[in-house]
Amino acid sequence: MIVSKKFETISAQKSFGGTQSVYRHASTETGCPMRFGVFIPPQAAHRPVPALYYLAGLTCTEENFVVKAGAQRIGAELGIALIAPDTSPRGLHYPSEDDAYDFGSGAGFYVDATEAPWQTGYRMYSYISRELPDLLNAELPIDPARIGIFGHSMGGHGALTIALKHPETFKSVSAFAPIVSPMRCPWGEKALTGYLGTDRNAWRAYDATALIEERGWAGPPILIDQGTADPFLERELKPELIRAACAAKTIPLDLRMQDGYDHSYFFIATFMDDHLRHHARYL
């Protein structure tokens, strides 16, 4: 367990020789307390270790990854710290904040909102890309030069866009069933309109396919797993769009269509080992 004046310990349990903890701190970006899970592997007792951020999807909290993903065993074997933030601010009491599963609480979409009232607290992009890494790099036994990021669904979108814009911070990226182009799916169109307004040009900063077109990616291959039985595959996820964007820029992409798998954590847990080992190769 890490003792810090910067955050409060909610829980801490020994796991695979390391420690799985949940912490809370006062965020300046979101203007409210934010929770995050951290698994510290046993190797951290002797040296700084690489870290891997996991961004969860719609309706989730930090607990989904901590409890369901089954990542601690391989994290301990590989000596990687695992960091699981929440998916949105909580309790800001904005009108309609809790009215829908795909907008507001649990659905921050990893953007910095510009529309009222969301712009004062829904700043998950800056929280994940800057505030939380700055805090944890200073407080945890992790090596800031060896950080990767991955995520699921909305969190896969967040991981891709944040890595593409911050390769100096996040050296590797992967995703499970990501929303690869929120500009071109109902979930994304609703969220980006609500948080950023109706100017679709502003949306491009939070669309992985647009960022690949504009910025490219000079890091290691991008790994994406997508289940063929995912009910959101054709309407919301559209992995063929990122395949085309990467091909046009000759960016190495390992897009694996996994036969019969859906959108659940059973799918994520099945391929978690592969993703952790993918990041370990580059961190």
Catalytic residues: 153, 230, 263
What DSSP designation does 83 have?
E
Which class for 138: exposed (0-12), middle (13-18), buried (19 or more C-beta within 10 A)?
Answer: exposed
User: Do the beta carbons of residue 223 and residue 274 sit within 8 Å?
Assistant: yes
Closest CA to 7 of 21, 25, 32, 26: 25
- What is the H or E stretch that residue 82 is in? strand 81-85
- Transcribe 149-213 into DSSP letters: EEEETHHHHHHHHHHHH-TTT---EEEES--S-GGGSHHHHHHHHHHH-S-HHHHGGG-HHHHHH
Cα(124)–Cα(145) distance, rounded to whole angstroms? 22
- 3-class secondary structure, 5: coil
3-state secondary structure of 141: coil
> Cα angle vertex 66, ends 147, 278, to 5°?
40
| Burial state string for 270-281 with b = 16 or more CB within 10 A and e = fewer than 16 | bbbeebbebbbe
CB 96 within 8 A of CB 107: no
Scanning the structure block, which residue is given the tokens 């996040």?
A: 170
Q: End-to-end alpha-carbon separation of the chain, Å?
A: 23
Phi, psi of 17 (to 5 degrees): 85, -10
